[in-house]
Amino acid sequence: MSDLPARLSVVTLGARDLPRLRRFYNDLGWREMPAGGDDWAGFLLGGVLLALYSVDELAAEAATAAPPPAQWSGITLACNVDSARHVDAAFAAAVAAGATAVADPVDRPWGGRSAYIADPEGNRWEIAWAPGARFDDRGALTGFGG
For residue 109, the model assigns a pLDDT of 92
Is the CB of residue 37 less than 8 Å from the CB of residue 52?
Answer: no
Strands 124-129 vs 113-118: parallel, antiparallel or unpaired: antiparallel
Does residue 70 have a pLDDT over 70? no
Q: Where are the domains of the chain?
A: 10-63, 74-133
Does residue 43 have a pLDDT over 80? yes
Mean confidence (pLDDT) of the chain: 90
CATH topology of domain 74-133: 2,3-Dihydroxybiphenyl 1,2-Dioxygenase; domain 1 (3.10.180)
pLDDT digit string (tens) for 47-59?
899 999 998 888 8
Same fold, 10-63 and 74-133: yes
CATH topology of domain 10-63: 2,3-Dihydroxybiphenyl 1,2-Dioxygenase; domain 1 (3.10.180)
Does residue 6 have a pLDDT over 70? yes
Average pLDDT over residues 87-101: 96
Neighbours of 119 (CB within 10 A): 22
Sign of the alpha-carbon torsion through 56, 46, 100, 113: positive
